[in-house]
Structure 1
Amino acid sequence: MISSSATIAASSIIEPGVIIGPHVVVGPFCFISAGVRIGEGTVIASHVVINGNTTLGRENRIGMGSSVGEISQDLKYDGEPARLEIGDGNEIGRHSTLHRGTAQGGSVTRIGNQNIFQAGVHIGHDCQVGDHTTMGDHSGLAGHVTLGDYSQLGALCAVHQFCIVGTGSRLLDNTCVVQDVPPYVLANGNRAVPLGINERAQAFARATADEQRVIHHLYDLLYHQQEPVDVVKLEIERLSVEYPMLRQFNDFFTRSTRGIIRG
């Protein structure tokens, strides 16, 4: 079903069964396969391929030459049903590649709202990307990566499979991550090492002065005093009673399996 207010270039191929909402624009030489659903106001530039069970929300913009919803590069993938879900208001730069999930990862790659992905970004199978994140040119997430809300990746960053990049953290250009990055940590290097607190993060800036002080305290325990993670987790549990925003640290350490980056 294609809305009467959608604009589709004559050279593009839209298979039967595609759902295209109001005021969608599809540029020339695109291919959109059966099973794709595109929300109102989304703009798709030229030479874009959108495949499989892929859902895009409202007001997304997809740059030219991008591949959205292709099957994963996981060699275990054997054709089982899988999907890609993209929220609202995302900017996807030219020549980006976003893959569907696999059965081993819940069968879904999920991208939230208001994210900015610059040219050549890769988001692998089963990744879970939050809201308001940014990824610089040619940065990539391997399979099963979690990217927290308001996190920032510079250009040419690489994140190893199954890693977590926490809420409000920031990776400088050319950073390679092979272990988890705690919330609000600024990191750089190959392999990534912590450089301090990412005070430029919107989520950090919105925190109260007391909450910011507590975040600095947790960083001090982890990286200056070199306390074991189990000790830091107990401190987080104690402080979460007074500072509920620290529950995101609880969530991070509960899900972390690869260990955290160290100096």
Structure 2
Amino acid sequence: MSQTSIHPTAVVDPGARLGTGVQVGAFTLIGADVEIGDNTIIGSHCSFHGPTRIGRDNHFVGHAAIGGQPQDKKSKGERTELVIGDRNVIREFVTLNRGTATGSNVTRIGNDNWMLAYTHVAHDCIVGNHCVFSNNTTLAGHVDVGDWVIISGFAGAHQFCRIGSHAFIGMGALVGGDVPPFTMVAADEHGRPRGINSEGLKRRGFEPERITKIKRAYRTLYVAGVPLAEAKAQLAEQAKDSEDVREMLEFIEAGGRPLLR
């Protein structure tokens, strides 16, 4: 089992807790009330502020700002948290902020995510598992992102938006409404649905019949030209033999910001 290694120029507050095998690079600051799990690698010039809880086997490449105060004028310095899971890769100049007392009190990042350079995740966001955020991805406050979501470079989401599992947000797209699971969004004014993420679903082992049912649901919602209430009724019928369509319908019925249409 490897030993914890802290570069001589790093500053680690006595109130921080580092697991076994943690490596801390040069000129990195780890503040009080920060917990970092086993075998996490931290590069140079990073800053970690608490309360922040980080799982094991993560890799912070360098110059990342983790657990900073929420960028919200309503925040008055209340005790709020950032919680990060396991096996995430956090690249250069990524910023992950803590939650707010007027929100959920916590910003939460799941497992096995890749956050590339200059990604920003604001206060009270929830990010699932196996997501890829390309360079300069920007999430405003209170954004909820499901599992297996890919967000391309220079794309962003407005506050309180939800992005469903397996969605794909194209380069430069600005998401101003809720994006149902499996949906592709292209840069067009503020982003518009452009079919389903069929290639991504194939790579994840979705069988052709399963993808066909998702495509049918997408056409019902976006192509048929029927009112949303009628589309939901048709989706309810289709959901009887498709868990994926049921997931889409439950996402829509859960509400939030207006559905991106």
**What TM-score comes out, normalization by structure 2 length?**
0.94
Q: Give, as a single letter, the amino acid of the residue that structure 1 aligns with 2:200.
A: A
C-alpha separation between the residues in 2 aligned to 1:208 and 1:239? 17
> What is the DSSP-based 3-state SS (H/G/I as helix, E as strand, rest coil) of the residue aligned with 1:234?
helix
Contact 2:42 2:60 in 1 (8 A): yes
- In the other structure, the counterpart of 1:79 is 77
- In the other structure, the counterpart of 1:5 is 3
1:85-130 CA deviation, whole Å, 9 max, x = no partner? 1001111110010000012221010000110110000000000000
C-alpha separation between the residues in 1 aligned to 2:202 and 2:34? 33
* Mapped pair 1:241 → 2:226: no
Contact 2:201 2:211 in 1 (8 A): no
In structure 2, list runs of 5 or more residues that go unmatched. Answer: none
Contact 2:220 2:235 in 1 (8 A): no
Q: Give, as a single letter, the amino acid of the residue that structure 1 aligns with 2:240.
A: V
Contact 1:150 1:202 in 2 (8 A): no
- What displacement does 1:260 show? 1.9
* Mapped pair 1:30 → 2:11: no
Provide closer, same or farther for how the CA distance between residues 42 and 205 of structure 1 changes in structure 2, counting only shifts above 3 A.
closer
C-alpha separation between the residues in 2 aligned to 1:30 and 1:14? 8
> What is the DSSP-based 3-state SS (H/G/I as helix, E as strand, rest coil) of the residue aligned with 2:62?
coil
Contact 1:240 1:246 in 2 (8 A): yes
- In the other structure, the counterpart of 2:217 is 218
Contact 2:10 2:25 in 1 (8 A): yes
Q: Give, as a single letter, the amino acid of the residue that structure 1 aligns with 2:102.
A: Q
- What displacement does 1:30 show? 0.7
Give the total of aligned pairs: 260
- What displacement does 1:183 show? 1.1
Q: Give, as a single letter, the amino acid of the residue that structure 2 aligns with 1:34.
A: A
The alignment yields a C-alpha RMSD, in angstroms, of 1.7
Q: 1:42 aligns with which of 34, 40, 48?
A: 40
Written as runs of structure 1 = structure 2, the 5 A alignment for 1:30-179 is 30-179=28-177
- In the other structure, the counterpart of 2:257 is 258
Q: Give, as a single letter, the amino acid of the residue that structure 1 aligns with 2:148.
A: Y
Provide closer, same or farther for how the CA distance between residues 251 and 102 of structure 1 changes in structure 2, counting only shifts above 3 A.
farther
1:54-76 CA deviation, whole Å, 9 max, x = no partner? 01111111121110000100111
1:183-238 CA deviation, whole Å, 9 max, x = no partner? 11111113101111111224884333332121111110111112222223333333
Fraction of identical pairs, as percent: 34
Contact 2:217 2:245 in 1 (8 A): no
Q: Give, as a single letter, the amino acid of the residue that structure 1 aligns with 2:190.
A: R
C-alpha separation between the residues in 1 aligned to 2:211 and 2:2? 50
Q: 1:16 aligns with which of 3, 10, 14?
A: 14
C-alpha separation between the residues in 2 aligned to 1:18 and 1:235? 54
- What displacement does 1:241 show? 3.3
Q: Give, as a single letter, the amino acid of the residue that structure 2 aligns with 1:157.
A: A
Mean CA deviation greater in 90-99 or 182-191: 182-191
**What TM-score comes out, normalization by structure 1 length?**
0.93
- In the other structure, the counterpart of 2:184 is 186
- In the other structure, the counterpart of 1:196 is 195
